[in-house]
């Protein structure tokens, strides 16, 4: 991690994409009066919430400690320790966040899931619910024919999702419906304008989660503004703004193939939901609005009149 520049008021990070604690440690090296306010916006999942917190918390602290120790020793990318780098990442994220907050270095913490935000607040980490929104560069009306029936974008990731994707494909084949799979195996990942073009061509964008409790709404923020109908397995209400049947279609897994066949034929129904989602994602649920909310909170902290890390709730 590069040195934190001088004379800045705020460091704003998200995801994480990389070693979050390396950034935290850089800030810890600065004298407190010179230390910028740290905002972190988490968009990653957490360990299975069915597990008891007295198990999750110590496991997360241990995973975080191991990660920090290997980094400080310069061994994180060295065999055999490098094999551990991508293991138990959800535990590491949780452990890192609580560690940073308890050290007084994480001023504002936000999460794209209202459910995860509630879990963190319950266990002592003040958290702001900050939904993931659309970005104008992610969408465009290209006036292309919708010649892709169903589009899958993203890594298969887990055995669960890979099996469900294959099962759905087999169930759709007798109906003459094809899934175009962009998983970096059948077809390479697409980004930028190429992704926008593909979403403009897709009648339906499929959503299947890695786990039963995942927040997958980042996919929605790309598909909906390009007027591709999202058809999803049932999801937890991570994002309060999205309503099943209004902004997307939710279907039980054993009915997913039939639901897709129905909406491919029901163009008027598909258009109604697509238009609702387009309006939501291009007016209310935008990245600009979310960032403005958290920056207003940061400004209140800097002015001495605010509270840290979402203590005012969702």
**176 CB contacts (<8 Å, ≥6 apart)?**
none
In the chain, % of residues over pLDDT 70? 96
- Which secondary structure element, helix H or strand E, spans residue 55, and what is its range? helix 53-72
Q: What is the pTM of this model?
A: 0.90
Nearest to 199 by CA among 113, 280, 274, 284: 274
Q: What is the mean pLDDT of residues 309-314?
A: 41
pLDDT score at 305: 52
Tell me if residue 58 falls in helix, strand or coil: helix
What order of strands is seen across the sheet that includes strand 148-153?
Answer: 179-182, 148-153, 202-207, 229-232, 249-250
Mean pLDDT, range 63-72, rounded to an integer? 94
d(CA 204, CA 218) in angstroms, rounded, equals: 16
Look at residues 290, 312, 313 and name the one whose alpha carbon lies nearest to residue 133: 290
Give kind and range of the element (H or E) at residue 110: strand 108-111
CA distances from 133 to 112, 185, 284, 290 (A): 9, 28, 8, 7
User: For residue 101, with 0-12 CB atoms within 10 Å meaning exposed, 13-18 middle and 19 or more buried, which class applies?
Assistant: buried
Residue length of the chain: 314
Token pair, residue 266, equals 């029901």
* 207 compared with 7, residue with greater pLDDT: 207
Mean pLDDT of the chain: 92
- Give yes or no for residue 81 having a pLDDT over 60: yes
Q: What is the distance between the alpha carbons of residues 26 and 120, in angstroms, rounded to a whole number?
A: 25
Name the CA dihedral angle for 162, 165, 167, 170, rounded to a multiple of 10 degrees.
-130
Indicate if the pLDDT at residue 309 is higher than 80: no
pLDDT at position 87 over 70? yes
What's the helix, strand, coil split of the chain in %, to 5?
A: 45, 15, 40
Say which residues have a Cβ less than 8 Å from residue 184's Cβ, sequence separation at least 6.
155
150-200 tens-digit pLDDT: 999 998 888 999 999 999 999 999 999 999 999 999 999 999 999 999 999
């Amino acid at each position: 991690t590069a040195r934190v520049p001088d004379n800045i008021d705020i460091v704003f990070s998200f995801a994480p994409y990389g070693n979050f604690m390396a950034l935290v440690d850089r800030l810890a090296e600065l004298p407190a009066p010179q230390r910028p306010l740290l905002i972190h916006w988490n968009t990653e999942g957490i360990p299975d919430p069915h597990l008891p917190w007295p198990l999750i918390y110590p496991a997360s602290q241990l995973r975080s400690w191991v990660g920090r120790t290997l980094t400080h020793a310069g061994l994180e990318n060295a065999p055999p320790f490098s094999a551990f780098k991508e293991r138990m990442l959800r535990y590491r994220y949780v452990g890192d966040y609580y560690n940073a907050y308890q050290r007084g270095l994480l001023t504002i913490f936000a999460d794209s899931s209202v459910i995860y935000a509630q879990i963190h607040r319950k266990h002592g980490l003040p958290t702001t619910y900050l939904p993931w929104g659309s970005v104008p560069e992610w969408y465009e009306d290209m006036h292309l024919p919708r010649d892709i029936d169903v589009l899958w974008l993203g890594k298969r990731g887990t055995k669960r999702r890979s099996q469900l994707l294959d099962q759905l494909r087999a169930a759709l084949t007798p109906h003459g419906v094809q899934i175009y799979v962009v998983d970096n195996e059948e077809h390479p990942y697409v980004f930028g304008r190429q992704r926008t073009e593909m979403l403009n061509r897709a009648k339906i964008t499929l959503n299947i989660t890695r786990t039963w409790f995942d927040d997958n709404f980042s996919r929605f923020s790309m598909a909906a503004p390009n007027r591709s109908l999202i058809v999803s397995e049932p999801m937890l209400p991570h994002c309060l703004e999205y309503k099943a049947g209004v902004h997307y279609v939710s279907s039980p897994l054993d009915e997913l193939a039939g639901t897709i066949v129905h909406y491919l034929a029901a163009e008027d129904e598909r258009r109604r939901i697509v238009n609702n989602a387009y309006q939501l994602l291009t007016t209310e649920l935008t990245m600009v609005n979310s960032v403005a909310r958290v920056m207003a909170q940061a400004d209140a902290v800097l002015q001495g009149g605010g509270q840290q890390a979402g203590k005012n709730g969702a």
